[in-house]
Amino acid sequence: MRVGMQGKIVLLYSLLILFAMQLSGVYLVKSLENYYLRNYAISQLSQGELLCNFIRRYLVEEEQQGELISDLIAEFGGGMPGTETMVLDRHGRLLGGPDQRSLSLLGGRVIQDDVLLALAGNRVEAIRVDPETGVRYYFLALPVKNMSSVVGVVFLRGSLEHIYLMLKEIKLMLITGWGIVLGIAILIGFLLTRTITMPIREVTSRAAAMAGGDFSQKIEVRSEDEIGELGEMFNFLTARLKDTLKEISAEKNKVEAILNYMTDGIVAFNKEGQSIHLNPAARKFLEWTGSPAELGLSGEVIFKILFTPGEMVELFKGGSPSTKEVHIGDTQEKILQVHFAPVKENGVLQGILVVLHDVTKERVFSRMQQEFVANVSHELRTPLTTIKNYIETLLNGAQEDPGIRMRFLQVVEKETERMVKLVKDLLVLSQIDYHETQWVKEETDVAFLIYEIREQVELECQAKGIILHTSLPRQSLKAFLDKDKIRQVMLNLLDNALKFTPPGGEIEVRACERESNICVSVRDTGIGIPPEEVDRVFERFYRVDKTRSRHSGGTGLGLSIAKQIIEAHGGTVFLESKLEEGTEITFCLPLARHPEHGASH
C-alpha cells in the first residue's frame, strides 16, 4: 500500500511523541514503584527491629511462653495490617505465629533458606510471588542477637498487592492521558503537513500533464519559502524544456528524410554527442533493437565500439570527415567501414553523421585468398627449390657418380611425392568445400575397421620402437560411414602420433559406445602441444612445429581434412593435449540405427 508524504510525516511525528510519553511514563511508574516499595520496606524493618528488642530478653532467659509471645505478635501485627509475623528460637523452632493455626505448630522446626541465613546472623529481605495465587509478598528475616550470638529470628511476610493496585491505577490514568494527547498531536500533524503536501501535489499533477505533452503548465507561487522556490524552478524548467524541444525538432527535420532512405547503416548524433537517429541497417550492424529513446543510446556507447575516447574527443572538436575500419562483435566478428561526416550550420558543428558499411565478407574472402595463396606457394616452393637444386647439381656433373646420382634422385622422388600429396589434400578439401565429394556410406563395424588399420601401421610402430595398444569392446560397433574416408581419418591421426612420439613411447587406440555415439580416440605419449596452440590445430596449413612437420613430410592439412570428413558424417572431433605428456584426439560418429527396428546393430 502506498503511503503518502503527509502520512509518513504524521506517522513519524506521532511515533516520536509516543516514544517520549512512553519513556517518561515508564520512568515515572518505575520511580513510584521504587518509592512505595522502599517506604514499605523501611516500615517493615522498623516494626521488625522493634519486635526484636521486645522479645530479646524472653529468648535470652529462655522464657519460651507461647501465649506471651503470641500476644506480643498480635499486638505488633495490629500496627502492620496485612503482615504475618513469626518468632523462632535459636534452633529454628516456632515460638509464636500470626494466627490460631500457627499455635498447633509451636515447637516445630521451620526450615527455610531465609531462616537459615538469619540464624547465621544475616538480615534477609526479598520480594517473591506466590506460585499458587500470584500474589507478591515482601519477606523479611531479622536475627535477634544478644551481644554477638543469635538467640532467635523474627520472620515477617507482608502482601504488596495494595502497592501494585495503586500503581495499576496510575498506569491507567497515564495511558488515558497519552491517548488523548496523541490524538490531538495527530490532528495537529495532519493540519500542519497539509500546508506542505498540497503544493507538492500540485507540482506532481503539473509534471504529469507535461509528460502527456502539455508544456504550457505553470504553477502559481504563493509563498517565498522552499516550496515557493520549488514552484519557481518548475516554471523555469517548463520554459527551458519548450525551447529545447523546438531546437531538437528543427535539427531532426533537417536530416531525417535523408537518413531514413540510406541503404547503409546510419547513426546521427547531435552536438552534445547524443544519438538522435538509427536506421534499420545500423540497428542490424550494431545488434540493437528498439528506438534510441528506449535504449538510451548515447555517443559514448556507440563510440566505445567504433572509436577510442581520444579519437571521439578529436572528432567532435575538429569536425572533419574521416574513415576507418573497426571490428565489432564477440561471438561473430564483423568488419565495418565507418565514415564520419560532420553536420555544420553556419560553420558551427551541429552533430555527426556516421555511415556504416559492412565489409566483413569482402575482407574475409580477401584474407582467405591471401592466406591460401601464401600457404600453397610456401608449401610448393620448398620442394620445388630442393628439386631444382639437386637437378642442377646432377647436370653440373654429379650424375657421373652413381652413389650421388641415386641419393639425389631419391630426394627428388621424395619431394615430388610430397607435392603430389599436397595437391591431393587440396583437392579433397576443395571437393568437400564445394560439396562435390562422392560419399559411399554403408553399415560398417568400426572395431573391425580399427583392426584392419592397426595391421597397416603395426610394422611401422615396431620399426620406430613404439608400442601400439588397442582397447575395443567385445560387441560390434556399427555406424553408417564412408569406409575409405574414415580409414583416411584414422591413418592421418596415427601418422601424426607416429611422427611426434619418440622411440619407447606408446600409442593407444580406443573405441566405445557413448550416448548413442561411437567414440574413437587416438592417444600418444609424444611431445604434446602448447595450450595456446590447441585451438588452432584444425586450421588449414597450421602446424605447431613448422620445421619439424615439414621435415616429417607434413602439409598441415591432415587434421583439417579429418575434421571436415567427421563433420560430414554428422560427428564431432576434439583434441586434448599436455606439453611433454602427450596428445589425445577423439572423434564421435552416430551409431547405425535401422528405421524398422530403431536400435543399433
User: Who has greater pLDDT, 576 or 64?
Assistant: 576
Q: Are 85 and 69 in contact (CB under 8 A)?
A: no
Q: Are 326 and 306 in contact (CB under 8 A)?
A: yes
CATH number given to 262-358: 3.30.450.20
Q: Does an H or E element contain 381, and which?
A: helix 360-395
pLDDT band for position 68 (50/70/90)?
Answer: low
User: Who has greater pLDDT, 366 or 80?
Assistant: 366
Give residue 424's pLDDT. Answer: 77
The span from the CA of 36 to the CA of 161, in Å, is: 12
Give residue 330's pLDDT. Answer: 60
User: Who has greater pLDDT, 380 or 474?
Assistant: 474
Architecture category of domain 5-166 in CATH: 2-Layer Sandwich (3.30)
- 37, 82, 134, 140 from 162: Cα distances, Å: 11, 10, 14, 18
**Residue that has been written with the C-alpha cell 505533452 in this structure:** 213
Tell whether the model's pLDDT for residue 169 goes beyond 50.
yes
Mean pLDDT of all residues belonging to the chain: 78
pLDDT band for position 573 (50/70/90)?
Answer: very high
Q: pLDDT digit string (tens) for 187-227?
A: 888 777 777 777 777 777 777 777 777 767 777 777 777 77
Give residue 592's pLDDT. Answer: 76
Q: Do domains 5-166 and 363-433 have the same CATH topology?
A: no
Sign of the Cα torsion 446, 448, 452, 457 reads positive
The span from the CA of 194 to the CA of 171, in Å, is: 34
When mean pLDDT is compared over 5-19, 136-150, 251-265, 411-425, the highest value belongs to 136-150
User: Who has greater pLDDT, 88 or 287?
Assistant: 88
* Three-state secondary structure call for residue 246: helix
In the chain, what are the domain boundaries?
A: 5-166, 218-253, 262-358, 363-433, 441-590
Tell whether the model's pLDDT for residue 521 goes beyond 90.
yes
- 264, 266, 274, 294, 295 from 280: Cα distances, Å: 9, 8, 18, 15, 14
- Counting residues of the chain whose pLDDT is more than 90, the rounded percentage is 6
Q: pLDDT digit string (tens) for 98-138?
A: 654 555 566 667 777 777 888 888 888 888 888 888 888 88
The span from the CA of 282 to the CA of 81, in Å, is: 100
The span from the CA of 167 to the CA of 169, in Å, is: 5
Q: pLDDT digit string (tens) for 440-471?
A: 888 998 888 998 898 888 888 998 999 999 88
Q: Is 147 exposed, middle or buried (0-12, 13-18, 19+ CB in 10 A)?
A: exposed
The span from the CA of 194 to the CA of 199, in Å, is: 9
- Look at the pTM and tell me if it is higher than 0.85: no
Q: Does domain 441-590 have CATH number 3.30.300.30?
A: no
The span from the CA of 183 to the CA of 147, in Å, is: 65
Q: Are 519 and 588 in contact (CB under 8 A)?
A: yes
CATH of 363-433, one of 3.80.10.10, 1.20.1250.20, 1.10.287.130, 1.10.1040.10: 1.10.287.130
The span from the CA of 438 to the CA of 496, in Å, is: 26
Tell whether the model's pLDDT for residue 599 goes beyond 50.
no
Cell numbers for 103? 499455635
Average pLDDT over residues 8-16: 80
